[in-house]
Amino acid sequence: MHACSSAHHHSPRLNRRDLLRGLTAGSALACGCVTLSSCATNPATGEQTLALSSINDDVRTGAKQYPELIAAFGGAYDTGRLQSYVTAVGRKVAAYTELPDLPYEFTVLNSPIINAMALPGGKIAVTRGLLALASTEAELAGVLAHEVGHVNARHGAQSQGRATIAQLGLAVLGIATGSKELVNLGSSLAQSFLQKYSRDQEFEADSLGVRYLSRAGYDPAAMASFLGSMHEQSQVEAQMQGLPPGQVDEYNIMSSHPRTVERVQQAAQQAGAITVANPVVNREGYLGSINGMVFADDPSQGFVRGQTFIHTGLSITFTVPDGFTLRNSTENVTAQDKYGSAIVFDMAPVQRSRTLIEYLQNEWVTDIRLSGLENLQVNGMAAATGTARVQSSNRVADLRVIAFNAGSGRVYRFLFVTDPRVTDAQSRALRETTYSLRRIDAAEAAKIKPLRIIVAQARDGDTVDALSRTLPYGQFNDEWFRLLNDLKPGEEVAAGRTIKIVTS
């Protein structure tokens, strides 16, 4: 009540059109206020905290940030059939929200990470990585309904201004060096879009999501079932990254949307007696829609094969030592090993330096004194390198930086970070990484095809072991195949079942 009356006084610019556009449907469904009063009630949650004119602010904010978000996650994947399908499913769900007239948009991102994001005002994005993991239209609808739930409850708007500094799993760099430059190097625009919601916000988005999902005629159980898949995937991902079980990387949906299956089931119960007559699941239709979709990294954005990174867009490749796990993101390539050593590769513009050594010391690593500065030639590219030992209160680290002339006023850069106890032992292997950087020609690049999801019928005698060999995850191929096809440990594929296989 109090919030309601104060909102009245503090919203002098609230006008009739704002109310009509923003809340017509909401006031009918859930808003306790009389339509056209300036009392502020959140239509989705019923909480009286919302300044109504701010819904238009949400729309403006979301529209402004949407292109940045899309670019930060590899751009739009597809503007054709798959994009239309996802938009249709999203609109179907959004039509049953308290704010059905927001300018909702749904974009499939060309990113292998598994996540979905919502900007204020109804701009939603979902990665092709997430689409690969989902198996039914109801699961996709559940993800979109949850994101639309965040929009309707205005969670994004509430937590705006709480800036997150991205560390790309390499917070150690900033801590070790105390250098702003190096912290920036490990930071990421993409990360800034991955909002960390509170547990209460997640619970609310799940409750709303289940509500919308069932109103749209989908099987509300899909929400909990897909959350189970995402949870299992994050476990496998943690193993692959050498992280403790349960700890997930910062780009994973389980990190930005912390939830448990139990909470989603609880949300489903709270949403009331949800009995949907003939609920839509649509497994075959969904699998048909993702058939042929690119899987894992897109070679034109750089991709990882074992210890080698290849970027057909930039026409370069390099190899990291055994024991390092390579990861490609939109902004850089990182590799880490169990000794805490890290390799960061990226590309940057040269602003003002005339030589590479000048670039290293005056433009890149500005607040650490580098020693051993020298020029190199690496596979026809001019390069320069230098080292430093850096110390913070709780860690000492050795750094080696190398910049290569990439042409067109840009440099490729390697940063190696090692614990002084392993620096000598690893120096030869890391030197080989430096000298492995080379250009690839068009013929070599043309041979590199992306992996794709192919939907097929399992045949008699097909085994998980045989079908999973084409996946790019080595010893984790089996686990990944099971994730993609909702198979339990030890379960084999049944002949005749429609399955996802991965092939180039």
- Site residues (vs Zn ion, CB under 5 A): 202, 205, 257
Distance CA 412, CA 415 (A): 10
> In the complex, which residue's CB is closest to Zn ion?
257
Q: Is 249 helix (H, G, I), strand (E, B) or coil?
A: coil
Q: Map tokens 């909990």 to a residue.
A: 224
Minimum CB–partner distance for residue 335 and Zn ion (Å)? 30
- Which of 105/147 has CB closer to Zn ion? 147
Distance CA 448, CA 462 (A): 27
- Which of 109/350 has CB closer to Zn ion? 109
Minimum CB–partner distance for residue 252 and Zn ion (Å)? 12
Minimum CB–partner distance for residue 274 and Zn ion (Å)? 19
Minimum CB–partner distance for residue 257 and Zn ion (Å)? 3
Distance CA 144, CA 122 (A): 11
- Which residue, among 269, 262, 150, 144, has the nearest Cα to 202 in the 3D structure? 150
**What residues contact 14, with CB distance under 8 A and at least 6 apart?**
38, 51, 52, 53
- Which of 170/205 has CB closer to Zn ion? 205
- Which of 92/257 has CB closer to Zn ion? 257
Backbone angles phi, psi at 126, to 5 degrees: -140, 135
Minimum CB–partner distance for residue 122 and Zn ion (Å)? 15
Minimum CB–partner distance for residue 198 and Zn ion (Å)? 10
- Which of 146/413 has CB closer to Zn ion? 146
Minimum CB–partner distance for residue 36 and Zn ion (Å)? 32
- Which of 74/156 has CB closer to Zn ion? 156
Minimum CB–partner distance for residue 196 and Zn ion (Å)? 10
- Which of 153/205 has CB closer to Zn ion? 205
- Which of 123/257 has CB closer to Zn ion? 257
- Which of 47/358 has CB closer to Zn ion? 47
Distance CA 391, CA 13 (A): 54
Minimum CB–partner distance for residue 202 and Zn ion (Å)? 5
Distance CA 52, CA 42 (A): 8
Residues 3-42: b if buried by 16+ CB within 10 A, e if exposed: ebeebeeebeebeeebbebbbbbbbeeebebeeeebbbbb
Minimum CB–partner distance for residue 378 and Zn ion (Å)? 45
Distance CA 28, CA 34 (A): 9
Residues 383-411: b if buried by 16+ CB within 10 A, e if exposed: bbbbbbebeeeeeebbbbbbbbbbeeeeb
Distance CA 93, CA 136 (A): 15
- Which residue, among 382, 362, 384, has the nearest Cα to 372 in the 3D structure? 384
**What residues contact 5, with CB distance under 8 A and at least 6 apart?**
39
Count, in order, helices (H) and strands (E) of the chain: 20, 17
Supply angle C-alpha 195, 196, 201, rounded to 5: 105
Minimum CB–partner distance for residue 118 and Zn ion (Å)? 8
Minimum CB–partner distance for residue 258 and Zn ion (Å)? 8
What does the chain come to in residues? 504
Minimum CB–partner distance for residue 206 and Zn ion (Å)? 8
User: Which residue type occupies 467?
Assistant: L
- Which of 55/143 has CB closer to Zn ion? 143
- Which of 262/432 has CB closer to Zn ion? 262
The residues facing 135 across adjacent strands are none
DSSP 219-237: -THHHHHHHHHHHHHHHHH
- Which of 128/259 has CB closer to Zn ion? 259
Distance CA 244, CA 258 (A): 17
Distance CA 233, CA 129 (A): 11
- Which of 150/215 has CB closer to Zn ion? 150
Q: Is 118 helix (H, G, I), strand (E, B) or coil?
A: strand
